[in-house]
Structures are given as structure tokens and as C-alpha cells.
Amino acid sequence: MFRREKPDSQGRRHSCKQTPSRRLRACFLATRKEAWEGRRRGHALGWHLFCILLCFPVLMAGQKRHTVEIAVESQTAVDEGQALFKSNCAFCHGPDGKGASGPDLVRSPLVSHDVNGNLIAQVVHDGRVDKGMPSFAAMKPEQISEMAAFLHHQARVALHSSHLEGDYSLARMLTGNAVEGKAFFDGTGGCAQCHSATGDLAGIAKKYLPLELQRKMIYPNSTSVSKTAVVTLKDGNRFEGKLLDQDEFNIGLICQDGWYRSWPREDVQLEIHDPLEAHRRLLSQYTDADLHNVFAYLESLK
């Protein structure tokens, strides 16, 4: 029997153990599949490179800010705290403190109001045994304040990862002028075109912690707001609707008549409307002062 081995593009081997004509066809199909997969991988690689390039300035900016962090909490305390946290708490609260089976501590109001472990200590010492938080009665106060340093450090890193320029600590974020913020909101900022302080943003400061609100204000990542698209076919037919699927090869819409339709990406002309796009464009229009002021204004909407 005729047997040939052929390395595929992943270096795996497959054999074609059929009659010559079937074998030929099978190998032809396999090769086509490989070529296609290779193309896909090529695309994926392209995407990865693109994303890396896109993230590079952000990563660099993160690096720069990182040196600012160290001045705030002693780096030794943060490191010690991280080690303690990893071995005692990470199982439930996640290695970065952002939650697993236990709650997110980086965004916990209790942690954000804690100073040097003064509130965390009690929870750790007593536990909340009935709610799944064990007691760590043997933990020393300095160990708790090291873990607190780690958690505060994590909160600060999370705050900075909102891609703001410069060093914004929460305290500094709250030094803006709410009256000027309101003027900006209603006027030059253009926020009032889409939002209302008594409508959709009423009580917004009660809905989110300051950290979260600040991030939402700059980078809303709503799942309730979807992109829409207009697809124009080669014969000139147009379809408009809610964008449901989009990848390199296909595009799928829930059209206005309620039907789902999809097309190969290369067969259509595509126009995408992202309601959050206008929001992201605003980023470049904010000055430092605007940012502080409008945030102070939103914080006053309780």
C-alpha cells in the first residue's frame, strides 16, 4: 500500500492511505485547508502585531506612571503584601485582587476608604465566616498593612489604566470645580447633546464608585449600546441593521425587517456606526481642567 507523509504547516504529519485518486483529492483538500488556515494564521499574526503596536504607547505610558506609584506606597510593602496576598487571599479574591469566588477588592468601597489597613484589618482578623470570608486571627498588623498597601497600589494602577495622560490620583480627580463642570457639560463639552443630568445620568455617582465612574466617563464600554451597519451589495441593494457578527470573513446583521442576514465580507461595502465613537473622540477634546471639572460635576449627581 502506498503511503506518503507530508508535513503540514504546523509541523504535524498526516498520511494519505487511500487509492491514488482518492489520495490525491484528499491531499488536495488538506492542502487547500492548510493554505486557508495559513492565511487565517497570517491574518491573526497581522492582528497580533497590529494590537501590539497599538498597545505599545499605552504600555510605555504605563511604565512611566509605574515609577510614580512607587513614591506613593513603599515598593517593599507592596511586594511583601503581594506575596502575602497571593498565598492567603488570592484563591478567593484573585491573584490581582480583582475578584474570583470572593468579591473584587480593588473596587471595594471598604478598601477604597481604608487607610493603611484600618478597615481591612478588622475584616481579615474577624472574617465574615457566615458569608464565606474566613478569619485570619493570627495575621500581624504589619502584614495586614502590607496587604493593604498592595490593594491600594492595585487600585491606583487600575485608575491609571483608564489611559489618562499624566498622574491622576483619585484625590486629585476630585479637586475640580463642579460649577464649571456643569457649564462644560451643557456647553462646549457637548455632553448634553446625548446625556441629561436629570435623565440618564441622574444619580450616576450613586451608581458607580468614583474609580468606576471616572473610567465610564472616559471609556464607556456599554453592552446595551450596539453598533449598527449599512451593507451595500454589488447589485446596489442596501441593508441596514444591528451589527451582530463581524470578523475578517463575514458580516452579519439583524436587519430592520427583523431577519438575520450575513454576507462574505469581501462581497459587500460596509459602513459601521458606533454610538460610542463620538464619545471616544471627545477624549482628545478634554483639557486637564475640563476633565477634573466634569468629573466633579458628575460626582455631585447623587
| Contacting positions for ligand HEC (CB under 6 A) | 88-89, 91-93, 102-103, 105, 108, 110-111, 120, 123-124, 128, 131-134, 136, 147, 185, 189-191, 193-195, 204, 216-217, 220, 222, 224-225, 275-276, 278-279, 282, 294, 298
Contact 141, 118 (CB under 8 A): no
State which residue, 77 or 120, has the beta carbon closest to ligand HEC.
120
DSSP code string of 13-69: EEE--S-HHHHHHHHHHHHHHHHHHHHHHHHHHHHHHHHHHHHHHHHHHHHHHHHHH
The C-alpha cell 515598593 sits at: 75
Strand ranges inside 247-293, DSSP E: 250-255, 260-264, 268-273
What b-and-e string marks burial along 129-165, b requiring 16 or more CB atoms within 10 Å of the CB? eeeebeebeeeeeebbbbbbbbbbbbbbebbbeeebe
The Cα-based distances of 219 to 15, 71, 105, 213 in angstroms read 52, 27, 21, 10
User: In the structure, how many helices (H) and strands (E) does the chain have?
Assistant: 12, 7
Distance CA 117, CA 153 (A): 13
State which residue, 61 or 209, has the beta carbon closest to ligand HEC.
209
User: Burial level of 298, CB count in 10 A (0-12/13-18/19+)?
Assistant: buried
Minimum Å distance from CB 77 to ligand HEC?
14
Q: Which helix (H) or strand (E) holds 280?
A: helix 275-282
Minimum Å distance from CB 130 to ligand HEC?
9
Cβ-Cβ contacts under 8 Å for 193 (sequence gap 6 or more): none
The Cα-based distances of 130 to 46, 50, 126, 135, 232 in angstroms read 51, 49, 11, 11, 59
Q: Name the grid cell of 273.
A: 456606526
